[in-house]
């Protein structure tokens, strides 16, 4: 029989043995680690030319590619472009687009950056890449005059999605004119494969004329300082990714959006109406959040969002600071094709009148206002135009926009609208009772919903007269009697 003393000696021995074993295992584990070299020590074996793409497209994934010496050729171009129908703006660009060309790298790449300032440009520029570890993110080494080229190199140390921008004084002005874009640093082995990838970047613009004021619009330094944006847009212009330019996908596909915010001032509450982000790489870094409705993208920041599309339809990208979406342009579209899936979404199943028990209200109370005394003399055209302009700003502006130009793919134009000019009764009807279903305006198809506008006969007459007597329309004078005739 063992004594108690012997027993405890035995277990103490076993305890020490176990401790030593654990230490040995840990040591061997750590000594195997050097394979995961520090990013700065990753060796590059080959030299390759980077493929750059214009938004909304991105270069092919890096996949299993080894770290390389990656040559980026970026050309700065100052050029006139269109902000929205009839509104021109002089953009300063990296690669001829806003946002600038997308750069796709992987951790450990040695990027050899060639920054070229086109000889026709008027100003010097440079580039600050948030993916760079070094003074100014490259800005100091890349300052380049028109007709010159600068070359500098950097090693990509941290995986993530990064903003780049010009940082030449006045910095705010260079960014406000469109000098920003995204550079992606993929982790070793690449990001998980998906079916579709797109590049979207928000920016705010400040013009001398207010939203929609036609003509070549100069940059307004004062509005920029006051942070009073006239335009807040995705990919540099109103409608850049809507209508015919919408992003596309098919039911069942997984979509990844690389979303940046160039600012210069505003942060984006990025949201996709009718979808939930399955994954968000928060702030473009390594932390992944799941099941997100709206993600905040700081000025000078980015996020990667991923989602699977389950049902067909048009999904609207917005900055959920929502006046920016409907009044300043921050609206894009993802059109998803494929078969309906009623398990996920039914569509309207029933539509009928809702009459609460005991209710005596049979019609909208405002409809009563349609019964106006007939002895009121009609207003003059001038009076109608003044009142109509006011009504337009209150009721129609949000969708049809300040100069009746509409928003491509979402709200049809009232300016020079063939639909409007062809049939005044039909147009009055649209305002009285709303309009749904497919219509064609100036050759473009719209299939959306305009709600009825709850206006009196006189108000409809005035606002329609205003619309008909502006923006190249046929100058019809609409009277309250004409509106009354359309009431059913």
Among 70, 74, 166, 407, which residue interacts with Cu ion (rule: CB under 5 A)? 166
Instruction: Pick the piece of the chain touching Cu ion (CB under 5 A) from 15-23, 60-68, 140-148, 179-187.
Output: 179-187
Residue 88: exposed, middle, or buried by beta-carbon count in 10 A (0-12, 13-18, 19+)? middle
Q: What is the largest CA-CA distance in the chain?
A: 123
166 is known to lie in a ligand binding site: yes
Shortest Cβ distance from residue 389 to ligand HEC (Å)? 12
The Cα 61–Cα 258 span in angstroms is: 13
Contacts of 156 (CB under 8 A, 6+ apart): 39, 105, 106, 107, 108, 109, 111, 131, 185
Q: Which two tokens stand for residue 470?
A: 């502006």
Backbone angles phi, psi at 399, to 5 degrees: -100, -50
Site map (CB under 6 A) of ligand HEC, residues 437-476, x = contact: x-x-x----xxxxxx-x---------xx--x---------
Alpha-carbon torsion (114, 119, 120, 123), positive or negative: positive
Residue 89 or 419 with smaller CB distance to ligand HEC:
419
Contacts of 298 (CB under 8 A, 6+ apart): 261, 267, 283
CB 271 within 8 A of CB 320: yes
Residue 431 interacts with ligand HEC (CB under 6 A)?
Answer: yes
Residue 321 or 453 with smaller CB distance to ligand HEC:
453
Among 436, 440, 472, 474, which residue interacts with ligand HEC (rule: CB under 6 A)? 436
Identify what 436 binds: ligand HEC, Cu ion, none; CB under 5 to 8 Å per kind: ligand HEC
Look at the block and give the residue holding tokens 């942060």.
267
Residue 138 or 332 with smaller CB distance to ligand HEC:
332
Among 58, 83, 163, 179, which residue interacts with Cu ion (rule: CB under 5 A)? 179
Residue 463 interacts with Cu ion (CB under 5 A)?
Answer: no
Identify what 446 binds: Cu ion, ligand HEC, none; CB under 5 to 8 Å per kind: ligand HEC
CB 223 within 8 A of CB 165: no
32 is known to lie in a ligand binding site: no
Identify what 469 binds: ligand HEC, Cu ion, none; CB under 5 to 8 Å per kind: none
Instruction: Pick the piece of the chain touching ligand HEC (CB under 6 A) from 221-229, 255-263, 432-440, 480-488.
Output: 432-440
Identify what 179 binds: ligand HEC, Cu ion, none; CB under 5 to 8 Å per kind: Cu ion
Residue 331 interacts with Cu ion (CB under 5 A)?
Answer: no
Q: Helices 424-433 & 457-468, crossing angle to 10 degrees?
A: 130
Instruction: Pick the piece of the chain touching Cu ion (CB under 5 A) from 3-11, 171-179, 181-189, 271-279.
Output: 171-179
Identify what 125 binds: Cu ion, ligand HEC, none; CB under 5 to 8 Å per kind: Cu ion
Contacts of 256 (CB under 8 A, 6+ apart): 191, 194, 196, 197, 198, 304, 305, 306
Identify what 174 binds: ligand HEC, Cu ion, none; CB under 5 to 8 Å per kind: Cu ion
In terms of C-beta distances under 8 Å and separation of at least 24 residues, what long-range contacts does 47-54 make, across chains too?
A: 47/71, 49/73, 50/103, 50/104, 50/105, 50/111, 51/104, 52/95, 52/101, 52/102, 52/103, 53/101, 53/102, 53/199, 54/95, 54/96, 54/97, 54/101, 54/102
Q: In what order do the strands lie in the sheet with 301-308?
A: 231-234, 196-205, 254-263, 301-308, 277-281, 288-292
Query: Between residue 370 and residue 429, which ones bind ligand HEC under the rule CB under 6 A?
Result: 395-396, 398-400, 411-414, 417, 419-420, 427
Shortest Cβ distance from residue 472 to ligand HEC (Å)? 13
Instruction: Using CB under 5 A, list all residues that contact Cu ion.
Output: 125, 166, 168, 174, 179
Contact residues: ligand HEC, CB under 6 A: 395-396, 398-400, 411-414, 417, 419-420, 427, 430-431, 435-437, 439, 441, 446-451, 453, 463-464, 467
Q: Residues at the annotated binding site for Cu cation?
A: 125, 130, 165-166, 174, 179, 320
């Amino acid at each position: 029989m063992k004594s108690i003393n012997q027993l405890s000696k035995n277990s103490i021995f076993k305890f020490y043995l176990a401790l030593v074993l654990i230490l040995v295992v840990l040591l061997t584990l750590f000594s195997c680690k050097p394979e995961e070299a520090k990013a700065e020590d990753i060796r590059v074996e080959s030299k390759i030319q980077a493929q750059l793409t214009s938004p909304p497209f991105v270069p092919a994934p890096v996949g299993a590619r080894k770290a390389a010496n990656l040559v980026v050729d970026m050309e700065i171009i100052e050029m006139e472009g269109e902000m929205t129908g009839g509104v021109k703006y002089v953009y300063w660009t990296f690669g001829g687009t806003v946002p600038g060309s997308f750069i796709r790298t992987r951790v450990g790449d040695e990027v050899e950056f060639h920054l070229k300032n086109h000889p026709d440009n008027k100003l010097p520029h440079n580039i600050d890449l948030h993916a760079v570890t070094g003074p100014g993110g490259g800005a100091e080494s890349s300052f380049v005059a028109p007709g010159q080229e600068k070359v500098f190199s950097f090693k990509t140390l941290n995986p993530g999605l990064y903003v780049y921008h010009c940082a030449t004084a006045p910095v705010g002005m260079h960014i406000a004119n469109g000098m920003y874009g995204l550079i992606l640093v993929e982790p070793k082995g690449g990001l998980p494969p998906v079916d579709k990838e797109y590049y979207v970047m928000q920016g705010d613009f400040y013009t001398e004329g207010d939203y929609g004021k036609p003509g070549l619009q100069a940059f307004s330094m004062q509005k920029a300082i006051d942070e009073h944006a006239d335009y807040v847009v995705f990919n540099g212009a109103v409608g850049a990714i809507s209508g015919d330019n919408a992003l596309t996908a098919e039911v069942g596909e997984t979509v990844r959006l690389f979303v940046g915010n160039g600012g210069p001032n505003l942060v984006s509450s990025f949201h996709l109406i009718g979808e939930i982000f399955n994954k968000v790489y928060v702030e473009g870094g390594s932390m992944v959040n799941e099941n997100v409705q709206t993600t905040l993208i700081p000025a000078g920041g980015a996020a990667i969002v991923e989602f699977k599309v389950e049902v067909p339809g048009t999904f609207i990208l917005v900055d959920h600071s929502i006046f920016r979406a409907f009044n300043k342009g921050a609206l894009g579209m993802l059109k998803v094709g494929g078969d309906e899936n009623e398990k996920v979404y039914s569509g309207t199943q029933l539509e009928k009148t809702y009459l609460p028990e005991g209710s005596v209200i049979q019609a909208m109370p405002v409809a009563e206002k349609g019964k106006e005394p007939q002895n009121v003399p009609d207003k003059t055209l001038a009076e109608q135009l003044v009142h109509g302009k006011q009504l337009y700003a209150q009721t129609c502006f949000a969708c049809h926009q300040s100069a009746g130009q509409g928003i491509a793919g979402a709200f049809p134009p009232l300016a020079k609208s063939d639909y409007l000019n062809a049939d005044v009764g039909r147009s009055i009807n649209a305002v009285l009772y709303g309009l749904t279903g497919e219509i064609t305006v100036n050759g473009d198809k719209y299939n959306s919903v305009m709600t009825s506008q709850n206006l009196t006969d006189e108000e409809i007459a005035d606002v329609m007269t205003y619309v008909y007597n502006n923006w190249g329309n046929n100058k019809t004078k609409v009277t309250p009697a004409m509106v009354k005739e359309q009431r059913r």
